[in-house]
Structure 1
Amino acid sequence: MQSPSKLPDTLVCESVAVSGLQGWADLPDGLLQSIIALSGSFIDLLAFAGTCRSWRVAFSSYPSKSSIRTMLPPLLIRPNVRVKAPHLPSNNGHRKLRICQVLDLSKQNTTFRCQIPKETLQMMHFAGCSYGHLICCRRRYCVVVDVFSGAEVSPPRLPSSNDCEEFYYSGTLTAPLASPKSHLLISSQTSLFDWPVGSDTWFELQLDDARIEQIVEFNGKFIAMDYHYRIYTLQLAPRLGLQEIKTEWWDGMAECPYLRPWLVVCGDMLLIVDHCINLSYGAPVTYRPYRLDMTTKLAKWVEVKKLDNWALFVGGDVRSTPFSCMNPELWGGKRNCLYYAHYSQPMSIHGFGDQADVVWDRSTDPDLLYKRNWYRQLQALWVYPSMFYSDDE
């Protein structure tokens, strides 16, 4: 055993400080944050933050929440699976709440739940999910709802020339809701709307050619993809605008060969991913990711043969946020795989490229649909809780 004189100075200081403590609530932040770094699931972290005020403060000030999100899988929200929880409140003071099933892949034997306002699920149309919040719209009304607490923020009514029913193709936040840098972006068929959170004004950018279907943050920039799968950088100031990134598709193709691809940030790569139907024996679909190489004058999509120690997560709705997770073996997952959330069964697992047949589980329901689509009602989706984002992100 190592003698006290040989312990690192920081540990000696912590030991001295702990010796005079009266209870668990008095543990120093440094020691508490070292416990956070060793936690192996979101359920454990949520329990840690809910223990007492001092532990919650230690979690709130933890400087590496982004590293937690990279190392742990997102939570799977199943809004169609209602569960009983008599100890949880049935309303949030304003609206009735529906208690929905939540799965944590790192701790699948533990029961977990979230609460979403029933009115939001029944009356509003899903537009996106961002920073742990659902974004829902109907007509010109919009609401941003914390997936786990049910807390709501209502922006001003969206600008429009009439009150007709509109369909919104994407919704995203540019930063955590509490951040002074946070903007809410909503895309309709003909416009991209920007609401600086907390203001009383929407800004509108009219779109001439194609609606915006996805916006992601990559290397400090916002990247948007439109209906024709063209890529843009998006600027918020001094005015809302889009600047196309000229790209070259793989194999010399003039346009994107995918039917409904999505963008996902995976470490230092910006990937575009979709599936191809496989008519031969084995896995019914094959996924192939391509990364955007912007080191040349004309950006190129380059095939990624293997994602090494990464796993991807995607839901069935085009507007649900895809995620990536590093070293999935640490929580019992599989590397170089895609976890696809479904409505009827929790998920299916797909290997990329040549790994498709090796990974495929033949007991999976063969009638499941694999292409992503737009749905008015909320589908199963992956989420990181809002408390795992910092205001300065």
Structure 2
Amino acid sequence: MQSHSKLRIASASAQPVVPGLHGWADLPDGPLSSILALSGSFRDVLAFAATCRSWRAAFSSYPNKSAFCTRFPPLLVQFNVCVQAPDLPSNKGRHELRTCKVIDPINKNIALRCQIPQEIYQEMHFAGTSYGQLICGRAGYCLVVDVFSGAVVCPPRLPFSGDFEFGKEFYFSGTLTAPIASPNSHLLVSTAISLFDWPVGSDSWSELQLSDESIEQLVEFNGQFIAMDDCYKIYALQLSPQLGLQEITTEWVGHLPPSSYTKPWLVVCGDMLLMVPCFWTVSSGSSVLQCIPHHLDMSTNPAKWVEVNQLDNWALFVGGDMRSRPFSCMSPERWGRRSKWLYYAGRSSFIVHGVGDERAPSAGPKVEYERRRPRAGKLQPLWVYPSIFYTDAQ
């Protein structure tokens, strides 16, 4: 990780290289890209983009912004902590925005914030996060909200076939298949009885009625979308020629399989698809939280969930609500954290636990490990990468 002093030195030395400059705003794209590549945190990158119009344009045209998501950890958004700042109307004046606290694991002491529409906190059902967007819904209507800008996309009303009075419009999960501005992006939303697909920008949804369990998590793995229901069955998802699910038969190998008391996360970790259940065990008279990941070995039939004792140089980032997207990061030592740990999005800060055979320090608070779905409007802290880092130049 580059220090701030090195970044300033590199920036200052760039000006004399190009003759005829009248100020920092006149730097051409080449030196600006070199400066941007030296960023040591998301805060550095965001400050770069906010410097002036020409620097913002240089950031927008930077061809590999998504690489920052592999270099830096995600940001922790605490919807439960309202920052002491005035709530502001959005640019179009249609949504009142609430200002919430954001923590950067690289430097917990630097104040960051985001703005979320107030209506999200009233009666909306949380469905998931994806590509920097928050996905919520109510009474057949969905909102896709940029976590940091508060910008809102409103899809058409869902074509419900059930009765709202009996809770069949409850939102179990939601995800995007690509960044919201991508031409091939789809919004997938699961309810108690159906899975819905909206090609972003179109006028209608397609519906797949579910015969058995509800879909709780959706992830992209090796170019394919994988869905997991509330009984931990795994499915391959297809979008065309029509929406469909194909079950992947699996069996569990190793430690305790997940149960209703150990709701697992489905995490993509490099070339592995992990299921990460956590459960309490008793060791030396005290309770210890164990996180035992299993990776899906699809070379056999049926596929097997095989226990992973060592995560090597990976770290996992998860939220209390299983529908908020979990992340994995390689070599967190680069920015002052440790591998083989699970970073849990707590209500006051993040909390760490060892993964597999790794044991986290005994000092520090224990996580309040509750895997139930929160009530409508009760957004839990979660990890997110800003949406601007998913807009690589084509």
Calculate the TM-score normalised by the size of structure 1.
0.89
What pairs with 1:232-381 in structure 2 (closer than 5 Å)?
232-251=235-254, 256=258, 259-281=262-284, 284-343=288-347, 345-356=348-359, 359-364=360-365, 366=366, 368-375=367-374, 376=376, 377-381=378-382
Assess if the C-alpha contact under 8 Å between 1:260 and 1:274 holds in 2: yes
Distance 1:204 1:148, change over 3 A: same
Determine the C-alpha separation between the residues in 2 that align with 1:20 and 1:244: 64
Determine the C-alpha separation between the residues in 2 that align with 1:353 and 1:118: 40
Determine the structure 2 residue equivalent to 1:383. Answer: 384
Determine the C-alpha separation between the residues in 2 that align with 1:302 and 1:58: 45
Compute the displacement of 1:127 (Å): 0.9
Assess if the C-alpha contact under 8 Å between 2:317 and 2:343 holds in 1: yes
Determine the structure 2 residue equivalent to 1:218. Answer: 221
Determine the C-alpha separation between the residues in 1 that align with 2:60 and 2:373: 35
Moved more, 70-79 or 281-290: 281-290
Determine the structure 1 residue equivalent to 2:5. Answer: none
Assess if the C-alpha contact under 8 Å between 2:129 and 2:135 holds in 1: yes
Determine the C-alpha separation between the residues in 2 that align with 1:68 and 1:252: 35
Q: Root-mean-square deviation (CA), in Å? A: 2.2
Compute the displacement of 1:128 (Å): 0.7
Distance 1:23 1:273, change over 3 A: same
Determine the structure 2 residue equivalent to 1:11. Answer: none
Compute the displacement of 1:17 (Å): 6.5
Assess if the C-alpha contact under 8 Å between 1:174 and 1:184 holds in 2: yes
Assess if the C-alpha contact under 8 Å between 1:179 and 1:391 holds in 2: no
Moved more, 320-329 or 15-24: 15-24
Distance 1:19 1:372, change over 3 A: farther
Determine the C-alpha separation between the residues in 2 that align with 1:63 and 1:284: 45
Moved more, 157-166 or 14-23: 14-23
SS of residue matched to 1:279: strand
Assess if the C-alpha contact under 8 Å between 1:262 and 1:318 holds in 2: yes
Q: For each residue in 1:307-334, what CA deviation from the matched residue of structure 2 results, as whole angstroms up to 9, or x when unmatched?
A: 1211110010111110011111111111
Instruction: Compare the two structures and name the one with the higher strand fraction.
Output: 2
Determine the C-alpha separation between the residues in 1 that align with 2:301 and 2:32: 48
Of 191, 211, 219, the residue aligned with 1:188 is 191
Query: Does residue 103 in structure 1 map to residue 107 in structure 2?
Result: no
Determine the C-alpha separation between the residues in 1 that align with 2:221 and 2:61: 24
Q: For each residue in 1:188-222, what CA deviation from the matched residue of structure 2 results, as whole angstroms up to 9, or x when unmatched?
A: 11110001111110100011111111111111111
Q: For each residue in 1:201-249, what CA deviation from the matched residue of structure 2 results, as whole angstroms up to 9, or x when unmatched?
A: 0100011111111111111111111121111111111110111222221
Distance 1:353 1:41, change over 3 A: same
SS of residue matched to 2:150: coil
Determine the structure 2 residue equivalent to 1:158. Answer: 158
Determine the C-alpha separation between the residues in 1 that align with 2:70 and 2:302: 30
Assess if the C-alpha contact under 8 Å between 1:106 and 1:332 holds in 2: yes
SS of residue matched to 1:234: strand
SS of residue matched to 2:228: strand
Determine the C-alpha separation between the residues in 1 that align with 2:235 and 2:69: 26
Size of the aligned set, in residue pairs, is 373
SS of residue matched to 2:79: strand
SS of residue matched to 2:282: coil
Determine the C-alpha separation between the residues in 1 that align with 2:56 and 2:132: 18
SS of residue matched to 1:370: coil
SS of residue matched to 1:350: strand
SS of residue matched to 1:68: helix
Determine the structure 1 residue equivalent to 2:44. Answer: 44
Compute the displacement of 1:16 (Å): 8.8
What pairs with 1:159-174 in structure 2 (closer than 5 Å)?
159-161=159-161, 162-164=163-165, 165=167, 166-174=169-177
Distance 1:329 1:136, change over 3 A: same
Query: Does residue 206 in structure 1 map to residue 205 in structure 2?
Result: no
Compute the displacement of 1:111 (Å): 0.7
Assess if the C-alpha contact under 8 Å between 2:63 and 2:392 holds in 1: no
Compute the displacement of 1:57 (Å): 2.0
Compute the displacement of 1:380 (Å): 0.5
Determine the C-alpha separation between the residues in 1 that align with 2:95 and 2:277: 38
Give structure 1 regions of 4+ aligned residues with deviation exceeding 6 angstroms: 14-17
Amino acid at match of 2:270: G
Structure 1, unaligned runs of 5 or more: 1-13
